[in-house]
Structure 1
Amino acid sequence: MDRYRGRVAVVTGASQGVGAAVARQLLRQGLTVVGLARRPDKVKELELKEAPGKLHAIQTDISSEDSILSAFKWIKDNLGGVDVLVNNAAVFPTAPVASGKTEDWKSILDLNVLGLSICTREAVQDMLGRGVDDGFIIHINSDLGHLPPFGTDRAMYGASKHAVRVLLEGLRKDLVARGSKIRVGEISPGAIRTEGLMGVMQEFPEIAKTIPCMEPEDIADAVVYMLSQHPRVQVYDIIMYPTGRPV
């Protein structure tokens, strides 16, 4: 991780859950972390006095292109640019395929697919423009990006995560064609004990008590593992299941 010490990492959806854990872990590793979230006050609470890294919080709506562009301009103007991007922000409302609301489908696709793609484009273009050849783009995907949907309620969410996987491969090939050594990868976890999942599981209180879950810190450790490999190694996808997962 020494190569990234003092350099700039952007983490989307950094106010809670996996994003918050990733931001804190990168601060411990000595990176300058920019947390993008709708609630910047929650990001500021992540500051660790004993950590060598520096934290910045920017209010950003990842479903809004204007908001994303404004955030990346601030980073360029004040910190010089981006070296690592962790695309974590995502939503997963109940949105049945046959009867779901268009606004719910749109919120999933705008954030999970388009917002991720805009952030990726801005980060990659910034790296290429500055001649950064050891940058890293990491998508926090989902095991549902590799599996058929378990039911209709999460099919649109699953479709968005399948899209993330396809977009990652497109990005990898694009960078190879450019002769760039910028690395890309995704982490595809199963159930994680976050506010979002626990909110969904309130619909199934008995299952919520027993379902095996990972912790957000487990995913943050996987991010560090991915970043810490020798530049000749591109850890492309880490699929993570909680121990004891029944299906």
Structure 2
Amino acid sequence: MDRWNGRVALVTGASMGIGAGFCEELVKHGMKVVACARTKSKLEALKEQLSGAKGELHPFVMDVSNDEQVLAAFEWAKTTLGGVDLCVANAGIAIGGTILDGKPSDWRSQLDVNLTGTLHCAKVAINGMLERGVNDGHVVLVGSALGYQVARHPQLHFYAITKHALRVSATALRRELLEKKSRIRVSNVSPGYVDTGFASRAMGIPDQAMQAKLKEISMEPLQVSDVIDALIHTISTPPRVEVHDLLFLPTDEDY
């Protein structure tokens, strides 16, 4: 991680859970982190929490589904900090509903965040690196284990579709970078069930009930720290190694 000291990262979905954990770890490693999310108060609280750390946290209110806000965030990072060297595209939403009973408006909302907005961030980050001659930059797309199979829960079928598309997109980006003879790396990091409450909110199940169900089936979920460990591994490899597609699961998960 030494090579990232003093460099600039932009993290989406940074106000809570996995995104906030990413920001905290990167700041502790000396990075200047532009933390992007929709809720200003949560970003400011995270900044206060990390005061005195080795690096810096810079809150920026941004919705990844808003094109102008995405461009503004990257422009601010370029003007103020010199430009983004690492982009962690973590923002994501899941709106529960089967395909047969679901609403197209809910599908579009998920696509806008999980795919279109995420790829927009990746595009702007990569093009900025290319313009600045940064040949060792990195883009991490935070996917899901549901990007590898059809979700067992029908309520998450369309969410899984968006994560399948994101995984394919990572390979598409990698091939485009290879055509440009660039060594900017692209990684799709996909955890299984993480204990953040994300899935229970999407399926409309109270967290207490979800925790009881996990206990019933004897499954110990992943923790945010496990996902952070995967991220650090992914961005710490030497230039000859690209962790392009990383899937990891709770040991007990029936996957």
| 2:16 aligned partner | 16
Q: Where do residues 1-247 of structure 1 align in structure 2 (5 Å cutoff)?
A: 1-47=1-47, 48-199=50-201, 200=203, 201-202=205-206, 204-205=209-210, 206-210=212-216, 211-247=219-255
Q: What residue ranges of structure 1 are gaps of 5+ in the alignment?
A: none
- The aligned length equals 247
Identity among equivalent positions (%) equals: 38
Residue 195 of structure 1: CA displacement? 3.5
Residue 81 of structure 1: CA displacement? 0.7
Letter in 1 for 2:222: M
Residue 208 of structure 1: CA displacement? 4.5
TM-score (norm 2): 0.92
Q: What residue ranges of structure 2 are gaps of 5+ in the alignment?
A: none
Residue 63 of structure 1: CA displacement? 1.1
Letter in 1 for 2:77: I
TM-score (norm 1): 0.95
User: Which secondary structure state, in structure 2, belongs to the residue aligned with residue 46 of structure 1?
Assistant: helix
Aligned equivalents of 2:147 and 2:200: distance in 1? Answer: 20
Residue 217 of structure 1: CA displacement? 1.6
User: Which secondary structure state, in structure 2, belongs to the residue aligned with residue 45 of structure 1?
Assistant: helix
Letter in 2 for 1:202: P
Aligned equivalents of 1:103 and 1:67: distance in 2? Answer: 21
Residue 40 of structure 1: CA displacement? 2.5
